[in-house]
Amino acid sequence: QVQLVESGGGLVQAGGSLRLSCAASRRTIRYYAMGWFRQAPGKEREFVAAISWTGTNTYYADSVKGRFTISRDNDKNTVYLQMNSLKPEDTAVYYCAARLTSEASGWFGEGYEYNYWGQGTQVTVSS
């Protein structure tokens, strides 16, 4: 079973940047597709970004495309989400998720497709 711990959240002004990290333990994430999701107060959880376990394929929600970048370092068992040009509407709890898959280039954009989740890290963007 994979254990995921997010970090790097915080308070930032609009236009600023943050880099979230998702550190995995107990198992290597080398064969896991990874994703980032977020949930704002009073709203449903939504997809943010996903990456295949090779790192060659990435996919983003339209709302973050061009501003956020997902990446991974399998040797460090860590996935990252670089967030630039942050907006107040990016305020949410951000969650990391993992799915074991045999598809090296596969990525997944729905929450139900993931098996493991972290506890989340709060990102607050002030205007």
- Residues 63-96 have pLDDT tens digits of 999 999 999 999 999 999 999 999 999 999 999 9
Residue 27 has pLDDT above 90, yes or no: no
Looking at the DSSP assignment, which residues form a beta bridge with residue 68? 83
Q: Residue 89 to residues 41, 45, 92, 104, 126: CA-CA distances in angstroms?
A: 11, 14, 8, 33, 9
Max distance between CA atoms of the chain, in angstroms, equals: 43
Who's near 120: CB < 8 A, 6+ residues apart? 6, 39, 93, 94, 95
Q: What percent of the chain has pLDDT above 70?
A: 100
Residue 123 has pLDDT above 90, yes or no: yes
Query: What pLDDT, on a 0 to 100 scale, did the predictor assign at position 68?
Result: 98
What's the rounded mean pLDDT across residues 36-53? 96
Q: Residue 65 to residues 18, 61, 117: CA-CA distances in angstroms?
A: 15, 6, 23
Residue 103 binned pLDDT confidence (cut-offs 50, 70, 90): confident
